[in-house]
Amino acid sequence: DAGVIQSPRHEVTEMGQEVTLRCKPISGHNSLFWYRQTMMRGLELLIYFNNNVPIDDSGMPEDRFSAKMPNASFSTLKIQPSEPRDSAVYFCASKAAGGQETQYFGPGTRLLVL
Amino acid sequence: AQSVTQPDIHITVSEGASLELRCNYSYGATPYLFWYVQSPGQGLQLLLKYFSGDTLVQGIKGFEAEFKRSQSSFNLRKPSVHWSDAAEYFCAVGAVKAAGNKLTFGGGTRVLVKP
């Protein structure tokens, strides 16, 4: 299996621009998670989906962030407008059904907002 | 609310020496506990996990962890460290709900391995 796929791997943009991060979960997994990792705040959960439905978005920083999962094989995390404080590594993870299943992480997208 | 504390931000260990990384958690029920490793520029890879049963859990790469309920701890150990073990290690606690499995991560411990 290819694992969780994220694109792009690196993104550099200017403040105010729209940024879209993409994730393809492992085939057959029914839960998908978006995390953000920064030096100051560590690894924090932004939102997670189960069967394409958002279950908990309490970690989404503010209205500038939005996430969608239109089907079982694709999810996006969008930041509009982006700000320098959004600079971080964004990870996507997926998990098969069942409470004892493991979350598998993608390689991450390193975002720099200038 | 669940939380995880990794008291050591950095640990330096000599190659061949033993390693122990501390993890303390706070959770209202029986926790699901995990250790992940992150190499530079990479995603997180699962080392081991505890759900129930034997409190000593074996993982990949020669790592093990012991769940101690009385101490709310889940410390990670390796008897003999290799240079390739230099990485950042994250402990996480899971909340199992009907529709998912939400993880809360500790701040991580960065391990440096001296030759």
The DSSP string of B20-86 is EE--EEE-SSPPEEEEEEE-TT--EEEEEEE-SS-SEEE-GGG-EEEEEGGGTEEEEEESS--GGG-
φ, ψ (nearest 5 deg) of residue B87: -175, -175
| Residues in chain B closer than 8 A to A107 (CB atoms) | 42-43
Average pLDDT over residues A10-39: 96
Q: At CA A48, angle to CA A44 and CA A49, rounded to 5?
A: 170
Q: A91-106: per-residue pLDDT in tens? A: 999 999 876 778 999 9
Average pLDDT over residues A63-70: 96
Q: B79-101: per-residue pLDDT in tens? A: 999 999 999 999 999 876 544 56
pLDDT for the residue A98:
75
| Residues in chain B closer than 8 A to A100 (CB atoms) | 32, 49, 51, 96
Average pLDDT over residues A72-86: 96
* Chain B closest-CA separation from residue A107 CA (Å): 4
Average pLDDT over residues A76-80: 97
Mutation target for B interface from A4, A43, A52, A56: give the one with most B CBs within 10 A: A43
pLDDT for the residue B51:
86
**pLDDT beneath 70: ranges in chain B:** 96-101
Strand (E) or helix (H) holding A71: strand A65-71
Per cent of chain A over pLDDT 90 is 82
Cα(A10)–Cα(A111) distance, rounded to whole angstroms? 6
- Using the Cα atoms of residue B18, residue A106, residue B52 and residue A42 in order, give the sign of their dihedral: positive
Average pLDDT over residues A35-45: 92
